[in-house]
Homo-oligomer: A and B are copies of this chain.
Amino acid sequence: MAAQRGQRNGVGDTPPAPTAAEITAPIPRVVAEVPAARERARAIPEAAVARLAVYLRVLSGMQDQGSGTVSSEELAVAAGVNSAKLRKDLSYIGSYGTRGVGYEVAVLIEEIERILGLTRKQSVAVVGIGNLGHALANYGGFPGRGFPVTALFDVDPDLIGVPVGGLPVEHIDDIPTICAEREVSIGVIATPPPAAQTVCDRLVEAGVQCILNFAPVVLQVPDHVEVRKVDLAVELQVLSFHVARRADNAAATNGVAPEFNGKVNGMVVT
Contact = CB atoms under 8 A, between A and B. Distances in A.
A46 B38 CA distance: 33
A2 B263 CA distance: 14
A143 B223 contact: no
A186 to B, nearest CB: 5
B46 A81 contact: no
Contact of A241 (B115, B238, B252): B115
Contacts of A57: 216, 233
Contact of A13 (B6, B42, B138): B6
Contact of A36 (B193, B222, B252): B252
Contacts of A44: 241
A101 interface: no
A155 interface: no
Contact of A186 (B12, B130, B240): B240
Contacts of A81: 1, 5-6, 9-10, 13
A192 to B, nearest CB: 10
Given A3-B47, A37-B248, A117-B244, 7 more contacts: A2-B15, A3-B8, A3-B46, A4-B12, A79-B218, A132-B132, A135-B135
Interface of A: 1-16, 18-20, 23, 27, 30-31, 34, 36-39, 41-42, 44, 46-47, 49-54, 56-58, 77-82, 115-118, 120, 122, 124, 130-132, 134-136, 138-139, 142-144, 147, 185-186, 193, 207, 209-212, 216, 218, 222-224, 226, 228-249, 251-252, 256-257, 259-260, 262-267
